[in-house]
Structure 1
């Protein structure tokens, strides 16, 4: 059971929640803070004080006063009018993350919602009821208004959900689980939608998958080193320490561990003096990606526990302040950085694929073909990798450098962070496919060299991988192989890090 308090949600807990369907609850102390902030809102409504979002309009309408008899209608109208999302829905796992993150933010006690709102959000994820939320339509400041409005629609019994593998109306899913919709009261609609949880949820899922891809890139590139009879001296610890980047040192250490007992890798001068950069510079390039991943993780962990709505309630209601915590710029920049860093894993992987298949760059059969000329072998697999890499370059254009004013120029600078997060997620998926192609080619090359000469760790990967993609004895429809390998890499039980070395050898 994961217990939320608005302050301490971790990536480890998010991993359990997203991939192991861990249930969620809340601390009593955090709910006491929620209750206090709610009492402050009710006092403001009763005394008819003018406070943005409680008894005023929104955005450019912030100067329009709303009577206390209309505050519930104000919130309902807000949710319905702002539910303008378009396009394909976010993956269900992202929707699940979004609901949890919104609940965690409200548990900080700065938002003025009733406890029942948070309890209902947690009811949804514990019952595996996930809102259908269109991906397009957020500017990433005033928060993720459109996506989160679709989330809020579900709470009031409108909108659609994913439930037990089916897409249906929220009311139908509620009836199956004994969950009841709620009526939003003063400030609650605004508190639900004025936040960065769409970009953060997408970012969390993208990061978790990117981390796995980065580890997998190391074991796969180690097999490539064997297939190309690469030189391991370039991974010597002294070289890495001489530069001083911790992540570079760690990448080289893991690759040395993978290749420790290999009879296919070579030493400096044995076959050649130096390898190409795509082999020799793996610690430097992959290590720099890890530096970016560490930065992204740090920003996401802060945002996972952040109050991002407006206004915020402090000092038991004595201070109600309008600010800009809904602005997604910190996550927008992090997502652009994630996109660039992961795209580079694909860039260098594609160059290794080229070295595996190009007969001018190795002494292997041309394109790893069983019968060169009659059979094309891996020729077009490299084309696919090149296409995916080029597509990544367009997705990696930073979304955060763009801004378009909205709400009659009241909201005159926005982050576009949700676009950045969506692009990062797509880049991770593309990069996994590039690595799947490298895995297929490197396994073929290493096995041509002699499976019995491989290191224990890399041979362990190959033996498992051969259950997914067989040795290429003749041309076949390689699209299926690429997708099967990619899906295998995506699965949660295939996670190659330091702890995974023993498993690979087993």
Structure 2
């Protein structure tokens, strides 16, 4: 796999190229145009503050303390204190790759030239990213307004020699890591601490990873649907284009066409059928998967806009001579989008579990529990239990986060988004749903081995052959979780191949 390097400049980034950069251990480079904008913004800020103008967070306290003026000789200490005091997260540490997505997004945010940071700070952050270091960031602690304060403080502590990070397979104290790479901690200048922790990069980092993964899971769900249809000997009429022309939701039409494409060359349309029509989990695949497609597309557009935006405060406009205090740090757009994503992906898992249930029930000349000598063997009976358990957990997690708000900062911050909670729980739903889809894939493959005479499409036949080279047909009971873990490895490779080859 070649390296996918990224140049941070005026051009927008898309979520897939960021994930490709991480998967390929690519590097970041700061473009010259971005450097010019950063230098211009910093110079304007310094000129303005040297004349004694008062601006929030630059020479004042923060939050409820916004009316407290800070002396000029205390401005640097103010910024360092901000990072230290706001680093109060708790819970589990987030995955390293999410930490690195956060760092990349923060670099992109600051490079747009409206935050007032120095070029040397951005260079330091780029060097940290390119070293493959991942600061330790706690999962819990952000309200998703005033930015993702606590997690971003933890992300940026290593810049000033504090906190911890993961590097080259080991945990490092930031001070020792800096010594190892021959760097000194950076002294933050005015506005820089605030610029580092103001923003939505925790929520949007989890959101970015979740929405790219969701696009891949939708493609996997459509592949699963085709395999399960083959095994269940389903009707093709629900996928006829004329049905969907009468209700032309984009997702419905796209999903129907994609599944027919998976089935091109199959004899499923000419086989003898066992019923007049199929259960909803087969017959309504275009409508259910299609609705998820439409929601995922919407969420993707929100995340793509967010990661290419400036989300700190106050914002600096050198050409207009303005420093404006606003609310771009409020992560309501991301939070509501992630609540939508939770529902979309939940449904992919929910209907997938229903197809597992139908396949193991002993219908349509398939043996009950998809096993020989059922009774002596339990086959895939309990696999459906496991799938149902995960689907139920997803439903509990899917309760929207953004309907909640808890007042903070002595009433100054009286409405917050809870976007961080929306993002992390939706990310968990995505991972849970992958487990369910892997269960359906395993089930469909087992069922297909009882359809000896069916003719699969070339693509489905190839996938089945590759899978059976790793996991053989189950003739008698064995430890299914071992097969499931191997199935997940197989599917993750398939998904990564789709991503790297732009097949989503």
TM-score range, shorter chain: over 0.9
Within 5 A, what are the aligned runs for 1:109-148?
A: 109-148=113-152
Maintained 8 Å contact 2:20/2:500? no
Q: Which residue of 2 aligns with 1:437?
A: 439
Given the alignment of the two structures, is residue 260 of structure 1 paired with residue 264 of structure 2, yes or no?
Answer: yes
Q: Tell me the distance in 2 between the aligned counterparts of 1:316 and 1:74.
A: 27
TM-score (normalizing by structure 2):
0.95
Out of 51, 54, 58, the residue aligned to residue 50 of structure 1 is 54
2:424 aligned with 1:422, yes or no? Answer: yes
Match of 1:187 in 2: 191
Q: How far has the Cα of 1:6 moved from its partner?
A: 5.0
Counterparts of residues 169-180 of structure 1 (less than 5 Å): 169-180=173-184
Equivalent-residue separation in structure 2 for 1:109 and 1:500 (angstroms): 34
Q: Identify which of 286, 290, 297 aligns with 1:283.
A: 286
TM-score, normalised to structure 1, is 0.95
Equivalent residue of 1:401, what SS?
A: coil
For structure 2, the residue ranges without an aligned partner over 5 or more in a row are: none
CA positional deviation for 1:317: 7.4
- 2:197 counterpart of 1:197: no
Counterpart for residue 340 of structure 1: 343
TM-fit CA distance, 1:452:
6.0
Q: What secondary structure, in the 3-state scheme, does the structure 1 residue paired with 2:199 have?
A: coil
Question: Do 1:52 and 1:322's aligned partners in 2 also have CA atoms closer than 8 Å?
Answer: yes
Secondary structure of residue in 1 paired with 2:17 = helix
- Residue 463 of structure 1 and its aligned partner are, at CA, apart by 1.4
Say if 1:216 and 1:495, in contact at 8 Å, map to a contact too.
Answer: no
Q: Name 2:373's counterpart in structure 1.
A: 371
1:476 aligns with 2:478: yes
Q: Distance in 2 between matches of 1:375 and 1:351?
A: 22
Corresponding residue for residue 415 of structure 2: 413
Length, aligned pairs only = 499
Aligned to 1:403: 405
What are the superposed Cα offsets for residues 106-137 of structure 1, whole Å, 9 maximum, x if unpaired? 11111011011111111111110111111100
Distance (whole Å) between structure 2 residues aligned to residue 346 and residue 433 of structure 1: 9
> Paired residue for 1:80?
84
CA RMSD of aligned residues (A): 1.9
Whole-Å Cα distance in 1 between the matches of residues 102 and 242 of structure 2?
A: 44
1:219-272 deviations in whole A, cap 9, x for unaligned? 111110011111112111111222112221121111111112223x24598432
1:243 to 244, 247, 254: 247
Shift in Å, 1:490: 2.5
CA deviation profile, 1:396-442 (whole Å, cap 9, x unmatched): 11111111011001100001111111111111111111011101110
Contact 1:395–1:423 (Cα < 8 Å) also in 2: yes
User: Matched residue of 1:449: which SS?
Assistant: coil
CA deviation digits over 1:260-303, x for unaligned, max 9? 2223x245984322111110111111111110111011111110
The residue aligned with 2:112 is 108
Counterpart secondary structure, 2:150: helix
| Contact 2:16/2:212, CA 8 A, preserved across alignment | no
Q: Is the 8 A contact 1:83 1:150 kept in 2?
A: yes
Deviations 1:464-499 (A, max 9, x none): 222343211111111122222123322354439998
